[in-house]
Structure 1
Amino acid sequence: MTDKNLTVAERLKSQFDNLTRAERQLAACILENYPASGLGTITTLGKRADVSTPTVARMVQKLDFSGFPDFQAALRLEIEAKISDPITKRETWSEKAPTGHILNRFTDAVISNISQSLGQLDTETFDRTCALVANIDQRVFVVGGRITRALAEYMFLHLQVIRPDVTHIQSISNAWPHYLLDVKENDIVIVFDIRRYETSTLKLAEIASEKGAKIILFTDQWGSPVSKFATYSFTNQIAVPSAWDSSVTNLLLLEIMIAEIQERIWPNTRTRMENLEDMFDRTRFFRKFT
Structure 2
Amino acid sequence: MENDAVEARLSAVYPELPPGERAIVRVLLDDYPFAALGSLRALAERAGVSPPTASRLFDRLGFGGFADFQAAVRDGARERSRLHEFVARSPGPRSPAASPEAGSSGGSSRAGASELRRAAEDLRSGLDGTLAAVAEPLFEAGAALLAEAGAVWALGGPLSELAAEYLIRQLASLRPGAQRVPDSAQARARTVLDLGAADVVVAYDFRRYSPDTARFVHAARARGARLVLVTDAWESPLAAQAEVLIRLPREAAGPIAPLAHEIAVTELLLVATAARLVPAQRLADLDALTQTL
Same structural fold, with TM-score higher than 0.5 when normalized by the shorter chain:
yes
Counterpart position of 1:239: 253
Displacement of 1:159 in angstroms is 0.6
**Contact kept? 1:142, 1:168, Cα under 8 Å:** yes
Aligned residue pairs, count: 204
1:163 to 175, 181, 185: 175
Instruction: Quote the Cα distance in structure 2 between the aligned partners of 1:183 and 1:174.
Output: 15
1:54 to 60, 64, 72: 60
Displacement of 1:163 in angstroms is 0.8
**Contact kept? 2:205, 2:213, Cα under 8 Å:** yes
Counterpart position of 1:278: 288
- TM-score, reference length from structure 2: 0.61
Unaligned 5+ runs, structure 1: 1-11, 29-50, 58-95, 284-290
Instruction: Quote the Cα distance in structure 1 between the aligned partners of 2:24 and 2:122.
Output: 19
Displacement of 1:100 in angstroms is 8.6
Q: Secondary structure at the match of 2:231?
A: strand
**Contact kept? 1:152, 1:168, Cα under 8 Å:** yes
**Contact kept? 1:145, 1:198, Cα under 8 Å:** yes
- TM-score, reference length from structure 1: 0.61
Q: Secondary structure at the match of 2:268?
A: helix
2:238 to 207, 226, 237: 226
Counterpart position of 1:117: 130
Aligned residue identity for 1:54: R
In 2 relative to 1, CA 215–120 (structure 1 residues): closer, same or farther, beyond 3 Å? same
Instruction: Quote the Cα distance in structure 2 between the aligned partners of 1:231 and 1:157.
Output: 23
1:257 to 257, 269, 272: 269
Q: Quick check: which one's helix share is greater?
A: 2
Coordinate RMSD, CA, aligned = 3.1
In 2 relative to 1, CA 273–241 (structure 1 residues): closer, same or farther, beyond 3 Å? closer
Q: Give the % identical residues.
A: 23
**Contact kept? 1:99, 1:105, Cα under 8 Å:** no
In 2 relative to 1, CA 271–255 (structure 1 residues): closer, same or farther, beyond 3 Å? same
Deviation per CA, 1:237-256: give whole Å up to 9, x if none.
Answer: 442344xx221111101011
Counterpart position of 1:81: none
Q: Secondary structure at the match of 2:196?
A: coil
Aligned residue identity for 2:193: L
**Contact kept? 2:14, 2:234, Cα under 8 Å:** no
1:105 to 118, 122, 126: 118
Instruction: Quote the Cα distance in structure 1 between the aligned partners of 2:130 and 2:277.
Output: 27
Pairs within 5 Å for 1:119-158: 119-135=132-148, 138-158=150-170
In 2 relative to 1, CA 184–191 (structure 1 residues): closer, same or farther, beyond 3 Å? same
Counterpart position of 2:76: none
